[in-house]
């Protein structure tokens, strides 16, 4: 699974890409695995190229964030259309949704008029064959599209909108794509300030226990530093993953002499 963040502001460093990090955490908890983050400019060719490259790598699911709004530089769906060879068309369900949302925001006093203009209507132009995903926060609908063996999900860049669509629609969609693996995670404090002293012990545990990932998280050297170690265990069920993880946690604490 790959995540593509669209937006020049990310590449310029003026906006932090917190969306990709949040999505990766949610996908991991669902049993999926994110293999790559990509950030691209607000450019149709670049968006399309990044999607095609993900196709070539065999991505079963691509999630994009950003570029679904009404302005001239919101170009994600044009990029998706170019990458998949689909035409953009006015999606009637999406159009009804956009109308309803602007009527709602007009009643709230957030916009001056509820009427649609070309910029607002633009958000309802989806690639042929795409489905609309309801946005419980904003006006731009999310989009899902199947292309060959890959599912493409397009989410807004505004974090609250992205999270709302993910929780309301995308989670259910992703569960159908998952392999069935479950993951269990925990973090422990090592009591050590020097990562190199623990390297052999961590490597030995990873080799001994299949389906376990161990990662140390150093911050700085110092006598008072206690490096955190993250344990991730995989299993065919939640109980299997937890049992395996707790076994590794116990072995690690014994090696590091942690009570």
Q: Can you tell me the mean pLDDT for 64-84?
A: 97
165 Cβ contact partners less than 8 Å away, ≥ 6 residues apart: 133, 134, 135, 136, 142, 155, 156
Could you give the CA distance from residue 70 to residue 63 in angstroms, rounded to a whole number? 20
Q: State pLDDT tens for residues 146-198.
A: 999 999 999 999 999 999 999 999 998 998 877 656 778 888 887 776 777 77
Query: Lowest-pLDDT range, 13-17, 165-169, 209-213?
Result: 209-213
Task: Tell me the domains of the chain and their CATH numbers.
Answer: 2-175 (3.40.980.10), 182-256 (3.30.70.2860)
Q: State pLDDT tens for residues 21-59.
A: 999 999 988 888 899 999 999 999 999 999 999 999 999
What is the predicted pLDDT for the residue at 197? 74
Could you give the CA distance from residue 145 to residue 105 in angstroms, rounded to a whole number? 28
Q: Which residues pair with 154 in a beta bridge?
A: 64, 143
What is the predicted pLDDT for the residue at 233? 85
Could you give the CA distance from residue 26 to residue 30 in angstroms, rounded to a whole number? 6
Could you give the CA distance from residue 15 to residue 89 in angstroms, rounded to a whole number? 31
Alpha helices of the chain — where are they, by DSSP H? 8-11, 18-30, 44-56, 76-84, 92-107, 118-122, 159-165, 171-175, 199-208, 238-256
Confidence of residue 224 (pLDDT cuts 50, 70, 90): low
Instruction: Give the single-character DSSP code of 135.
Output: -
Q: Say how many C-beta atoms besides its own lie within 10 A of residue 83's C-beta.
A: 22
């Amino acid at each position: 699974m790959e995540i593509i963040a669209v937006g020049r502001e990310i590449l310029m460093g003026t906006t932090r890409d917190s969306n990709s990090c949040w999505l990766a955490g949610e996908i991991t908890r669902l049993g999926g695995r994110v293999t790559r983050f990509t950030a691209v400019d607000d450019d149709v060719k670049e968006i399309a190229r990044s999607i095609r490259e993900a196709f070539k790598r065999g991505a079963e699911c691509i999630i994009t964030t950003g570029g679904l709004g009404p302005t001239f530089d919101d170009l994600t769906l044009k990029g998706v259309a170019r990458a998949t060879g689909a035409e953009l068309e006015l999606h009637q369900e999406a159009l009804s949704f956009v109308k309803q949302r602007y009527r709602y925001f007009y009643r709230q006093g957030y916009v001056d008029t509820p009427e649609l203009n070309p910029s607002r209507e633009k958000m309802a132009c989806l690639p042929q064959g795409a489905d609309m995903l309801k946005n419980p926060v904003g006006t731009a609908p999310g989009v899902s599209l199947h292309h060959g063996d890959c599912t493409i999900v397009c989410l807004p860049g505004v974090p609250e909108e992205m999270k709302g669509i993910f929780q309301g629609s995308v989670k259910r969609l992703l569960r159908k794509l998952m392999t069935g693996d479950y993951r269990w995670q925990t973090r422990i404090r090592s009591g050590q300030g020097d990562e190199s002293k623990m390297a052999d012990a961590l490597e030995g545990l990873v080799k001994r226990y299949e389906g376990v990932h161990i990662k140390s998280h150093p911050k700085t050297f110092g006598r008072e530093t206690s490096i955190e170690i993250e344990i991730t265990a995989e299993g065919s069920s939640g109980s299997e993953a937890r049992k395996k993880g707790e076994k590794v946690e116990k072995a690690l604490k014994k090696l590091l002499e942690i009570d």
